[in-house]
Chain A
Amino acid sequence: MNTLSLAIRDSVTMLRRDILHSVRYFSITLSGLMVPVIMLLLFNYVFGGAIGAGLDGAAHGGSYINYLTPGIIVMTVGSGCATTALNLCMDMAENIITRFRTMAIFPASVLIGQALGSLIRTMITVVAVLGVALLMGFRPTASPVAWIAALGLIALITIAITWMGVAFGLVGKTPAGANSLSLMFQLLAFTSSAFVSPDSMPAGIRWFAEYQPLTPTIDTLRGLLLGTPLGNSPLLATGWCIVLILVGYFWSRAVYNHPSVQ
């Protein structure tokens, strides 16, 4: 068997293992789904009135639910980072990982399987959030092609953040460590264009908000789904995703391949 088919076969096996874990740990899987929906309800119905009043409606896609939904979607992806990191960190503490290391399998398949599992879980959550948003009055104007592009971008940022989550899970050593590292991506959502426009922020934070990975992603989603101006956001978003995927994958692989077993 050549390396590629070995890599695919073992990764699919590890994905099946990860899916079985999701089924067995159903409460964790379910809370991963519920939290973003609650955030959507919270931001729209509790904070939405006040925040929405401060936004220039038309320029940002009409009602606040329209402005908010792409932000919540990216926030959903960001919170998936912590779930991935925690899952991976807990799994690495299991002795079966030691067994995998003594087997003639594609070494990174353990990581790839979990990353694929996280991608599937996050995409299901994103669809659920989109569904609830539509019920709450989210009215996208996108063409089918724009929808496909939007889902493609969501998948891309998910893969990127998932791989960072895998790396955090490995580097973090303990669940607490893994969680605090991945908190970064959850906090990034608050200093992005997810909830309010960066225009309303002080100069330094605004500069950070405009160029960090999440803002261009959110702005691209808004452009695709609601027809707001795109500018250079798609380019920035794609660039960020590719950088994060490469950093996350190679970092994870390097840490996994050099464990401190004793």
Chain B
Amino acid sequence: MMMIETRGLRKAFGSHVVLNGIDLNVPTGSIFALLGPNGAGKTTTVHILSTLISADGGEAHVAGHDVAREPNAVRAAIGVTGQFSAIDNLLTGEENLLLMADLHHLERSEGRRRAAELLKRFDLVDAAKQRPSTYSGGMRRRLDLAMTLVGDPRIIFLDEPTTGLDPRSRHTMWQIIRDLVAGGVTIFLTTQYLEEADQLADRIAVLDKGKLVAEGTPDELKRRIPGGHIRLQFADASALMAAARMLDEATRDENELTLQIPTDGSVQSLKTVLDLLDREAITVNDISLHTPDLDDVFFALTGYPETEKGAVR
């Protein structure tokens, strides 16, 4: 069964077309990642699916309900955590959770129980009586997600859940997301990080300028993009030529004095190259390992680099 289904979703703000016919299918209990750069239309998609704004055209069903005709039925099934913490900064962490419990019409005792359980689960017990202004970015994001979970949603929208977080908080968040899906929840994730989509998602859709340019499992998508490479830089042309003779699959750049050797990114492949250079006593000035990133995905799928709204990471 599909938890989220859209057909030809369209949205424009004035003359600026943000979504230009989006078809999505998200099966129950899966993690679906919408990958794209800033301004691709990711947040707009989440806003339409979570009933915040209405589409100009097309259809969207969430949990079996039409978002335009039965917004309240959709709201009862979803939880939303956006990229800006939707928490009440004047209330303590615990009061924020109790506010959610009241708005989900839980009994007082049940609300207290859920709040206590979520504080423990998200490692916020010590901060429960403090206001979020004293929290770190990671803690705010965890409180935000905890608030989303008070109502036991069947579908959770996570709009760029790790943007702005440090690597450790990002990994904590990833683990939390995996645990949620293990509990049977469907997750709709937006991200501008290929790595994040790769780590978490069952299926990835790549959004660019309001259109889906690719969709598939992480492996299917990665097969479509050029692999990573090892980049070697040499001090002079003779070293370059010597190395090029040994590594026949390498691409040579004589102006830059570099070689690019395709790799799967494994340590073993790097070691093989280094051993070879060592055996032949070829001096290398600089070595770097390049793994495919969002830029490569965009370049491969659209034919132009993703640079319009500034570099990603």
Q: What residues make up the interface of A, taking CB atoms closer than 8 Å to B?
A: 1, 9-10, 13, 16-17, 20-21, 24-25, 94-96, 98-105, 261-262
Closest to A95 in B: B86
What A residues does B88 contact at CB under 8 A?
17, 94, 96
Across the A-B interface, the 5 shortest Cβ-Cβ residue pairs: A99-B86, A104-B75, A104-B76, A13-B102, A95-B86
Q: Mark B221-257, 1 if CB is under 8 A from A, else 0.
A: 0000000000000000000000000000000000000
A98 and B53 contacting across the interface, CB-CB below 8 Å:
no
Q: What residues make up the interface of B, taking CB atoms closer than 8 Å to A?
A: 13, 44, 47, 50-53, 72-73, 75-76, 78-80, 82, 84-91, 95, 99, 102-105, 131, 147, 151
Q: Nearest Cβ in chain B — how far from A88, in angstroms?
A: 14
A17 and B75 contacting across the interface, CB-CB below 8 Å:
no
Q: Could you list 18 further interchain pairs (A-B, Cβ under 8 angstroms) beyond the known A95-B84, A105-B103?
A: A9-B105, A17-B88, A17-B91, A20-B95, A21-B90, A24-B131, A94-B89, A95-B86, A96-B86, A98-B52, A99-B80, A99-B86, A99-B147, A102-B75, A103-B75, A104-B73, A104-B76, A261-B52
What is the CA–CA distance of A104 and B89 in the complex, to the nearest angstrom? 22
Closest to B81 in A: A99
A95 partner, pick from B50, B87, B95, beta carbons under 8 A: B87
A96 and B52 contacting across the interface, CB-CB below 8 Å:
no
What A residues does B151 contact at CB under 8 A?
103
What A residues does B86 contact at CB under 8 A?
95-96, 98-99
What B residues does A20 contact at CB under 8 A?
90-91, 95
Q: Nearest Cβ in chain A — how far from B43, in angstroms?
A: 9
A-B contact pairs, 20 of them (CB 8 A): A10-B103, A13-B99, A17-B99, A20-B91, A21-B90, A24-B131, A95-B82, A95-B84, A95-B85, A99-B80, A99-B86, A99-B147, A100-B103, A102-B52, A102-B78, A102-B80, A103-B104, A104-B72, A105-B103, A261-B52
What is the CA–CA distance of A79 and B76 in the complex, to the nearest angstrom? 39
What B residues does A17 contact at CB under 8 A?
88, 91, 99
What is the CA–CA distance of A24 and B190 in the complex, to the nearest angstrom? 35
What is the CA–CA distance of A9 and B91 in the complex, to the nearest angstrom? 20
Q: Nearest Cβ in chain B — how far from A16, in angstroms?
A: 7
What is the CA–CA distance of A155 and B6 in the complex, to the nearest angstrom? 50
What A residues does B13 contact at CB under 8 A?
262
What B residues does A102 contact at CB under 8 A?
50-52, 75, 78-80
What B residues does A98 contact at CB under 8 A?
52, 80, 82, 86
What is the CA–CA distance of A1 and B104 in the complex, to the nearest angstrom? 12
What B residues does A21 contact at CB under 8 A?
90
What A residues does B51 contact at CB under 8 A?
101-102
What is the CA–CA distance of A102 and B153 in the complex, to the nearest angstrom? 12
What is the CA–CA distance of A262 and B42 in the complex, to the nearest angstrom? 11
A96 partner, pick from B47, B78, B87, beta carbons under 8 A: B87
Q: Nearest Cβ in chain B — how far from A95, in angstroms?
A: 4
What is the CA–CA distance of A96 and B144 in the complex, to the nearest angstrom? 10
Q: Nearest Cβ in chain B — how far from A14, in angstroms?
A: 8
Closest to A6 in B: B105
What B residues does A96 contact at CB under 8 A?
86-88
What A residues does B87 contact at CB under 8 A?
95-96
What A residues does B78 contact at CB under 8 A?
102
What B residues does A9 contact at CB under 8 A?
105
What A residues does B50 contact at CB under 8 A?
102
What B residues does A99 contact at CB under 8 A?
80, 82, 86, 147
